[in-house]
Structure 1
Amino acid sequence: MNRSILKLAVPNIISNITVPLLGLIDLALMGHLGSEVYIGAISLGSVIFNFIYWGFGFLRMSTSGFTAQAFGEKKSAEAITILIRALLLTLSISIIILLLQAPIAWGSFKLIGGSSEVETLANEYFRIRIWAAPAALSLFVFSGWFLGMQNARYPMIIAILVNIVNILLSVFFVFGLKMKSEGVALGTVISQYAGLLTAIILLFRKYRKMLPLVTKASVMDLKFLTNFFKVNTDIFIRSFCIIVVFTFFTSKSASINDTILAVNSILLQFLMFFSFFIDGFAFAGEALVGKFIGAKEVQNLKKVVKLLLYWGLGLAVIFTLLYLSGTNFILKLLTSQENVIESAQQFLFWIVLVPVASVGSFIWDGIYIGATVSRPMRNSLLVSTFLIFVPVYYFLNPVWNNHALWMGMLLFMFSRGVILALLYQKTILKPLERKA
């Protein structure tokens, strides 16, 4: 079982490493342009796309879970039909996003705030990067589908290609053509479409024989579509809560001053960096849990859940030690702004606590996504967001200010894992035992 976990987790970790690497390089490029406003511009612009992409993250998650279960049941026609349904939904969503890009930008900047100089640069970034939305959302679907088919290699190839192309283009546009935040945005757009083309080529290379199994009647299966949209609605609410927390975090950072905005933007990269490592095991959980539930293999489900938690805890300990010893070194790689580095010192201990506090939320998310048991995920996020994160911040803010944001963030991550762990027996294990 450990071999099966690592076979799926390691390619995802390798591909995921390139994602935070891209974010780090974008920040580093802006961090060496001589002003913190460029860091703030990338941060604010990225928050908007986090809002869009995290909000539609259900496209990847539900595709992964449903496909893994179809794979476990050995239903090839259903598996390929899930991909077509998800891509058609993605096309519709993408058209709406592009049509509404002006009000999205206006509303987002009104909500988030920031200095006028930062907002002007962030708006330029947004106007270019928004055109990557159709490709980015389609890649969510392809990645989830390949993973559900127990194929972690193809998402790895796509992610590595996208991020390498993005990094090379961003460096070229910023240093070669003397562009600033708009250069980073343009690099992102081109790389996303390169990734989409690669995904289509890989699909035809290995799964071409499955395509004739798709029929109009199967695509429009009302029973499946009802369940599909129910799960997607729950995951959307779950993702929306995460968006609320991170948007609130960035907005409150911006309301303090540009330096704190830059500090928190950089420190959040430590959380993101850990998340993309631990997500390798969460993604393995999606594929394996879905497969075992589809095949109704109770003992294998119990075993894989236990092993995923062990792997997650081990990784959390490693990252805790890494952050305890190397945080200042990483900070200096990200920015040469002395005032940002100096201001960050008083908040570094929060970063050391991040891995252990958040590991459960990632692993349990993967388990629940694979099981397509979406209601507990939704409810855990509603509780963690509105009964923990928000009250903690407002209660502590008068005294702790920016520390209140970090305390709220850690308790938000920790509580999600605890709630899902407590609900596992009732919502996943017992129903499977009854079916088996």
Structure 2
Amino acid sequence: MNQKILRLAVPNIVSNITVPLLGLVDLALMGHLDSEIYIGAIALGGVIFNFIYWGFSFLRMSTTGFTAQAYGEKNTVETITILARALLLVAIVSVLILLFQAPIAWASFKIIGGSPEVESLAKSYFSIRVWGAPAALSLFVFNGWFLGMQNARIPMIVAISVNVINILLSAFFVFVLHMNSSGVALGTAISQYAGLLIAGIFFFKYYRHMTVFVSRKGIMDLQVLTRFFKVNTDIFIRTFCIIAVFTFFTSKSASMNNTILAVNSLLIQLLLFFSFFIDGFAFAGEALTGKYVGARKLTELKKVVKLLFYWGAALALGFTLLYLPGVRLILRILTSQTEVIESARPFLPWIVLVPIASFASFIWDGIYIGATASRAMRNTLLISTFAVFAPVYYFLAPLWGNHALWLGMLLFMLFRGLVQTILYKKAILNPLHNTRLD
């Protein structure tokens, strides 16, 4: 079982690490031009796409869960129909994004703001990159489907290919064709379609035989569609809560002062860095949980859950031991500003505690997504956001300031894991007891 977990987890970790690498390369490309406004342009434009793609990440999650369950049931017809159904939803969403790109841009820049020069460049960046949205969203679905089919190698290859193509094209457009931030947008959009092409090639190479089972009747099955949209709605609400918490965290950091904003922005990167690794095991949990739920193999499900928590706890302990003596050194690598480093000292214990406090929430998310236990996951996030994070901050902020913000974040992550632990039996195990095969 450990081999199955690692076979899925390691490629996903590699895929996750390529995401921040690309962002750093884009910033480096802009950083070598003659003005800082280009960095600001891709930063502002990037925020909009982060919201769009993070908001629609439910497409990948639900596709993984449904596909893994159909795979476990050995239901080939439903397995391929899930892909067709999700791609149809992507087509509808993509058309809406492209049709309403002007009001999306207008509303986004009204909220985000920025200097006239930066905003002008960011609008150009957005107007080019938005045409890559259909490919980006389609890749969400394909990557989720491949993972549900217990194949993490293809998404890894696709992710690496997209990033390499993106870097090469962006560098060409920026330094050879002198397209500044617009060149980065064009390189990103083209690379997303290249990634979709690569995913399509892999699909037709290994899974083309399944396409004969796709039918309009299967795609439009009302009972299945109802559950499909219910699960996706629940996951969307869950994701919205996470976006709200992290956006609130950044907003309140900025309202304190620029130094606190810089400190929190750097420290939160250490949480995100940990998430790149722990998410690899969460993704493995999605695939394997879905598989054993679909196959009604309760014993195997319990075993994989236990092992996932062993791996998660070990990883959390490793990062805690890394951050405990090394967080100051990491900060010095990330910034040379002495004031920021010194101002961060009182808040370093929070980041040391983050891996231990948060690993269970990441692992459980993967398990719940694989089981498509979306209602319990949605309710957990609503409670954690509005009954834990928000009250902790608002009651303690007048006395604790930034410490209240970090305590709220820590308890938000911890409470998610605790509640999902409590709900595990009712939400996942009990429905399987009467239908188990082992």
Q: Same fold (TM over 0.5)?
A: yes
Is contact 1:323-1:352 (8 Å) kept?
A: yes
Q: Which residue identity does 1:417 align to in structure 2? A: G
1:40–1:258 contact (8 Å) kept in structure 2: no
What does 1:175-186 correspond to in 2, within 5 Å?
Answer: 181-186=181-186
Q: Would the alpha carbon gap of residues 121 and 134 (structure 1) be closer, same or farther in structure 2, given more than 3 Å must change?
A: same
1:40–1:261 Cα contact (<8 Å) kept: no
| Matched residue, 1:398 | 398
Residue equivalent to 1:198: 198
Quote the residue 2:373 is aligned against. 373
- After TM superposition, the structure 1 stretch with the greater mean CA deviation from structure 2, 122-131 or 199-208, is 122-131
Look up the equivalent residue of 1:278 and give its one-letter code.
I
Name the TM-score, length of structure 1 as normaliser.
0.91
Tell me the secondary structure at the aligned position of residue 274 of structure 1: helix
Q: CA deviation at 1:263?
A: 4.2
Residues 335 and 96 from structure 1, CA distance in 2 versus in 1: closer, same or farther, beyond 3 angstroms? farther
1:73 pairs with 2:73: yes
1:237 is aligned to 2:244: no
User: What is residue 297 of structure 2 aligned with on the other side?
Assistant: 297
Structure 1 window deviating more from structure 2 (127-136 vs 56-65): it is 127-136
Instruction: Assess, with a 3 A threshold, how the Cα gap between structure 1 residues 250 and 39 changes in structure 2: closer, same or farther.
Output: farther
1:143 aligns with 2:119: no
Shift of 1:411: 1.8
Shift of 1:27: 5.0
Question: What's 2:9 paired with?
Answer: 9
Instruction: Report how far residue 179 of structure 1 moved.
Output: 6.0
2:228 matched to which residue of 1?
228
Residues 392 and 38 of structure 1: CA distance in aligned 2, closer, same or farther (over 3 Å): farther
What is residue 431 of structure 1 aligned with on the other side? 431
Match of 1:53 in 2: 53
Q: Report the Cα distance in structure 2 between the residues aligned to 1:165 and 1:122, rounded to whole angstroms.
A: 22
Tell me how large the CA RMSD over aligned residues is. 2.7
Cα deviation 1:360-408 (Å, max 9, x = unaligned) = 1110000001101100110011011111222222223334444433322
- C-alpha deviation, 1:244, in angstroms: 1.2
Deviations 1:328-361 (A, max 9, x none): 4444544556665555455443322221121111
Q: Distance in 2 between matches of 1:34 and 1:361?
A: 44
Judged with a 3 Å threshold, the aligned counterparts in structure 2 of structure 1 residues 382 and 23 are, in CA distance, closer, same or farther, namely same
Q: Give 3-state SS (helix, strand or coil) of 2:126's partner.
A: helix
Matched positions, count = 436
**Mapping 1:168-317, distance limit 5 Å:** 168-170=168-170, 181-257=181-257, 260-317=260-317
User: How far apart are 1:199 and its partner, in Å?
Assistant: 0.6
Q: 1:164 is matched with which residue?
A: 164
What does the per-residue CA deviation read over 1:123-164, in whole Å, with 9 as the maximum and x for residues that have no partner? 454333322211111111000000111111111111111122
* Cα distance change, pair 374–314 in 1 and its aligned pair in 2 (3 A): same
When structure 1 is superposed on structure 2, of 296-305 and 349-358 the one drifting more is: 349-358
TM-score (norm 2): 0.90
Indicate if the aligned counterparts of 1:285 and 1:305 stay in contact, CA closer than 8 A.
yes
Q: Which residue number in structure 2 is paired with residue 355 of structure 1?
A: 355
Q: Deviations over 1:14-40 (max 9, x none)?
A: 222212322344456667879987766
> CA 1:266–1:183 in structure 2 vs 1: closer, same or farther (change >3 Å)?
farther
SS of residue in 2 equivalent to 1:271: helix
Conserved 8 A contact 1:38-1:121 = yes
Which segment drifts farther, 107-116 or 25-34?
25-34
Deviates more, 1:343-352 or 1:233-242: 343-352
1:19 match: 19
Secondary structure class of the residue paired with 2:434: helix
309-318 vs 176-185, which moves further: 176-185
Q: Shift of the alpha carbon at 1:166? A: 2.7
Q: Distance in 2 between matches of 1:361 and 1:333?
A: 29
Letter in structure 1 aligned against 2:202: L
Following superposition, the deviation at residue 251 of structure 1 comes to: 2.7
The amino acid of 1:424's aligned partner reads Y
Please tell me whether the aligned partners of residues 114 and 251 of structure 1 are also in contact (alpha carbons under 8 angstroms): no
Name the SS of the counterpart of 2:296 in structure 1: coil
The equivalent of 2:323 in structure 1 is: 323
Distance across 2 between alignment mates of 1:212 and 1:415: 46
Q: What one-letter code is carried by the residue in structure 2 that aligns with 1:285?
A: G
2:287 partner letter: A
Q: 1:228 to 1:357 in 2, by over 3 A?
A: same
CA change 1:80–1:36 in 2 (3 A) is same
- Give the match for residue 83 of structure 2: 83
Structure 2 distance, partners of 1:62, 1:343, is 42
Matched to 1:211, the amino acid is: T
Structure 1: gaps of 5 or more residues:
none
Residue identity over aligned pairs, in percent, reads: 72
1:319–1:355 Cα contact (<8 Å) kept: yes
Rounded to whole Å, the distance in 1 between the matches of 2:136 and 2:146 is: 15
**Taking structure 1 as reference, are residues 297 and 152 closer, same or farther at Cα in structure 2, changes over 3 Å only?**
same
- Cα distance change, pair 305–284 in 1 and its aligned pair in 2 (3 A): same
Q: 1:40 to 1:338 in 2, by over 3 A?
A: farther
* CA pair 157-96 structure 1, distance change in 2 beyond 3 A: same
Q: Which residues in structure 2 correspond to 1:34-45 (within 5 Å)?
A: 42-45=42-45
The answer to whether the 8 A contact 1:20-1:269 is kept is no
Name the SS for the 1:435 alignment partner: coil
Instruction: Compare relative contact order (CA 8 Å, sep 6+) and give the higher one, 1 or 2.
Output: 1
Structure-2 separation of matches of 1:175 and 1:393 = 46
Cα distance change, pair 30–323 in 1 and its aligned pair in 2 (3 A): farther
How has the CA–CA distance of structure 1 residues 183 and 193 changed in structure 2, closer, same or farther, with 3 Å as cutoff? same
Q: 1:254 to 1:131 in 2, by over 3 A?
A: farther
Amino acid in the other structure paired with 2:107:
G
Within 2, Cα distance between the matches of 1:331 and 1:174? Answer: 30
After TM superposition, the structure 1 stretch with the greater mean CA deviation from structure 2, 263-272 or 355-364, is: 263-272
Deviation at 1:320, TM superposition (A): 1.7
Contact 1:165 1:191 in 2 (8 A): yes
Counterpart contact for 1:57–1:140, Cα < 8 Å: yes
CA distance change for structure 1 residues 174 and 136 in 2, over 3 Å: closer, same or farther?
Answer: same
Q: Give the secondary-structure state (helix, strand or coil) at the position aligned to 1:204.
A: helix
Shift of the 110–385 alpha-carbon distance from structure 1 to 2, 3 Å rule, reads farther
Letter in 1 for 2:279: D
